[in-house]
Structure 1
Amino acid sequence: MPFAISDTPTGRVRLHWEERGSGEPVVLVMGHLFSGDMWYPAIPALAEHYRVIWFDNRGTGASGATSTATVTDLAADVRAVMDAAGVSDAHLYGVSMGGGIVLQLAHDAPERVRSMVLGCTAMRSPEYPLPSPPGFLARQLKYRVPVRLLKPLLRKRFYGPLATPEAIERDLDVLGRMRFSARGVYAQDLAIAGYDMTPGKVAALTPPALVLHGTADEAVPYAAGVRLAQTLPNARLVTYEGAGHNYPVDVGARANVDVLAFLADLTQKDRT
């Protein structure tokens, strides 16, 4: 089980990472609360063509945790995983909070980012305010209650009408077996609250970008994804009608097809 060590102002943390496939590196960055296990809809398809690297964000899975964190720290964690994997630069694919981490990494270390795939994510903007860290009672509900008791809430929050019951149940089963630290995930909440990738910063990011967003997203409004794609200078938007926040589950293989087409197009342009 490989690990990377990330030294940041909020603490030194050990990060569990894995890889599959060969070729150009694609690094997957998961969103808030979820471990790298939640990349299961994407890894097999991407690994047929690329070296896919994924990891557990601090506070989740087999990675360590800190009591506080910033998105800059989380971007530094991605760099630490890339260093441990011997990767100088890569295509970065992030969803939700993971998309914000990818944007932060492109801002902090643009030389490490070949391209960006940004799923169900947003900039910091007055039009789409970020949630405040939950209070004590909300934390108990969010981090202590078993997934089986939260299924009705999760179905509404994470999935759109496009998702099949079978796909939702499979996803909830993976989620139910996932490990995380309440302390570490609260640190992610603090990081999200301090996220400051504003339109001005995002407009300066030049890597090719693919923005993926569902119209039925209850967590990050579809309009935020549209605005992100409009602000990035070299981006294309793919819209999934009827898909919710967890669009990889809702649309199935379609998302992988779109990502692979985007990456193949970049490879073709590099060769010509």
Structure 2
Amino acid sequence: MPHASTIDGTRIAYQVRGEGQPLVLLAGQSNNHTWWDPILSDFEGYRLITLDWRGTGESDKPDEVYSTRGFADDVVAVLDDLGLDSAHVYGTSMGGRVAQWLAINHPERVNALVLGCTSPGAAHGYERSQEIRKALADPARTDRVLLELMYTPAWIAQNPGPYYVLGDTSMPSYAKGRHLVASNKHDAWDGLPKITAPTLILHGSDDIFSPAANAQLLADRIPGARAELIAGARHAYFHEFRSVASPAVLSFLRTEDRA
């Protein structure tokens, strides 16, 4: 598996599949590239680039401060290693937070931007309730609570797993803590109006993990951005509702490819 070296010497594992225009897929907090495995086939015709965040998968796991801004620099290191000047970027959950910084700080590297089930950060965004936070903090309930935040009960009943969005079980505990702090401290509010990439924002209408109201909030803040809610979907809209979400992303990207 190839690795890119960052400015601080951390090695970031990445994966490349397919041919065509490059599309970088950024996973959620405490997850590695397998987050995207169930839907990679939806994006045939693109050169798909995924990566393992520092602290996850086959990437290095330094016990030091992580940040969403720093994760964006790690993505740049991957693009550099591949010799790519720019790419489309699709980030979900914490990956959407990282994608915001990528588009703010490295505008020349982002051709088109898709932000999924994400927010501008706690300072200005809509946050999950204290009840949800307490439930997720209970080790005996965490996986079940998280699963029900990701998917509808009907989908869970019909799909016994494996599930790809519940976290990288190989992560050391300190890295999980570093990821949590990085996501919680995200605040890109002041930079969002500087985004120049065409931007599509997707969100499940029934998402209470990252409340759906964040979608329009981001759209109002990013010049020219458009928000779409996927009816009935929870946080993992991109998986359970792939028949709606993936075509929406593809239609947007193909429009930008023709521009």
On whether the aligned pair clears a TM of 0.5, the verdict is: yes
Q: What is the letter of the counterpart of residue 115 of structure 1? A: A
Partners of 1:155 and 1:140 in 2: CA distance: 14
1:62 aligns with 2:58: yes
Q: Summarize the Cα distance change of 1:175–1:188 in structure 2 as closer, same or farther, 3 Å threshold.
A: closer
Percent sequence identity is 32
For 1:58, give the aligned amino acid: R
Matches for 1:4-19 after TM superposition, within 5 Å? 4-8=4-8, 12-19=9-16
2:133 maps to none
The equivalent residue for 1:3 is 3
8 Å CA contact 2:128, 2:209 repeated in 1: no
Paired residue for 1:86?
A: 83
182, 190, 199: which one pairs with 1:191? 182
Shift of 1:174: 7.3
Which among 6, 21, 31 is matched to residue 34 of structure 1? 31
CA RMSD of aligned residues (A): 2.5
Equivalent residue letter for 1:56: D
Q: Is 1:51 aligned with 2:47?
A: yes
Match of 2:96 in 1: 99
Partner SS state of residue 172, structure 1: coil
Aligned partners of 2:114 and 2:200 also within 8 Å: yes
In structure 1, the partner of 2:230 is 240
In the alignment, residue 121 of structure 1 is paired with which amino acid?
T
The match for 1:260 is: 250
Where 1:88 maps in the other structure, the secondary structure is coil
1:89–1:112 Cα contact (<8 Å) kept: yes
Contact 1:32 1:188 in 2 (8 A): yes
Kindly state the Cα deviation for residue 66 of structure 1 after the two structures are TM-superposed. Answer: 2.4
- TM-score, with structure 1 as normaliser: 0.84
> How far apart are 1:127 and its partner, in Å?
4.7
Secondary structure (helix, strand or coil) at the match of 1:206 reads coil
Runs of 5+ consecutive residues of structure 2 not aligned to the other structure: 131-135
Instruction: Assess if the C-alpha contact under 8 Å between 2:28 and 2:35 holds in 1.
Output: no
Number of equivalenced pairs: 253
CA distance in 1, matches of 2:205, 2:128: 19
List alignment gaps of at least 5 residues for structure 1: 133-137
Classify the secondary structure of the residue corresponding to 1:41: helix
The AA in structure 1 aligned to 2:25 is: L
Q: Tell me what 1:135 maps to.
A: none
Q: Which moved more, 1:50-59 or 1:62-71?
A: 62-71
Offset at 1:32?
Answer: 0.2
Query: Which amino acid is the alignment partner of residue 264 of structure 1?
Result: R
Q: Deviations over 1:231-254 (max 9, x none)?
A: 211212121111111112220332
Contact 2:127 2:210 in 1 (8 A): no
- Secondary structure, aligned partner of 1:76: helix
2: CA distance, partners of 1:100 / 1:176: 17
2:144 aligns with 152
The one-letter code of the counterpart of 1:210 is L
Matched, 1:211 2:209: no
